[in-house]
Amino acid sequence: MLIAGNWKMFKTQAETRAFCAAFEPPEGVDVIICPPFTSLVAAVESGLTVFAQNVHWADEGAFTGEISTAMLKELGVAGSLVGHSERRQHFGETDEGAARRAAAALAAGLRVIACVGELEAEREAGETEAVLRRQVSVLEPHPQLAVAYEPVWAVGTGKTATPEIAQEAHAFIKSLIDAPVLYGGSVKPENAAELLAQPDVDGALVGGAALEPDSFARICRAARAA
């Protein structure tokens, strides 16, 4: 069971060190934290497994604001998210761009969590499977690749897919690619156990509930129980 905490644009280095000092991950769960770039070193120093929130496909070059795989590896970072819905929504990330980022990171020996998921309008129009098929089709299976299903309508909104909706989407994604599939979308201590109990849910990508050591630990313990 894999539980990743995406901190988004939260936590300074001092706040990161305070979190890591207070957080006690349970044994038997693969726990990852994904802090902002400026807090990666502080997080790595804690001994926790650390992923970046994004990574570029080029080894180096004129790509202002981007970070290469070599830069991440030098810091001791173990992997990266790619294609998060907020990257797609706010910064123009495409399926092809996410695939290039994932391929470069995997080739460099990093682990990857590739994010996919439909908009609310797409779900209401019955296009969920078509969207997921398009987003997953550009990814190549790899032992170090996991997929995170994050219905965009449930990311940061407080809405959560029902366990049945999550299970259906996860089963469909697994029919397209051989990879663990995490659920992401307003995962909280209160709903984690029911979501993680679904047969095709292999873990969670946690947002806001990963910012506090206690709530994140409770989700990790729910994963261990599942």
CA 125 from chain center: how many Å?
26
Number of Cβ within a 10 Å radius of residue 162? 11
Catalytic entry in 86, 142, 150, 170: 150
Is residue 137 within 8 Å of 99, Cβ to Cβ? no
AA identity, residue 153: W
Task: Check if the beta carbon of residue 26 is closer than 8 Å to that of residue 217.
Answer: yes
Catalytic status, residue 74? no
**How many CB atoms neighbour CB 94 within 10 A?**
13
Distance between CA 155 and CA 92 in Å, rounded? 17
The dihedral sign for the CA sequence 112, 31, 86, 35: negative
Spatial distance between the Cα atoms of 125 and 145, rounded to a whole number of angstroms: 30
Q: Which two tokens stand for residue 181?
A: 């599939």
List beta partners, residue 2: 30, 203
Q: Among residues 84, 86, 93, 170, which one is catalytic?
A: 84
Residues facing 145 on adjacent strands: 112
Classify the C-alpha dihedral 131-145-164-216 as positive or negative. Answer: negative
**150 labelled catalytic:** yes
Quote the CA–CA distance of 205 and 190 in Å, as a whole number: 15
For the annotated catalytic residues, the residue numbers are 84, 150
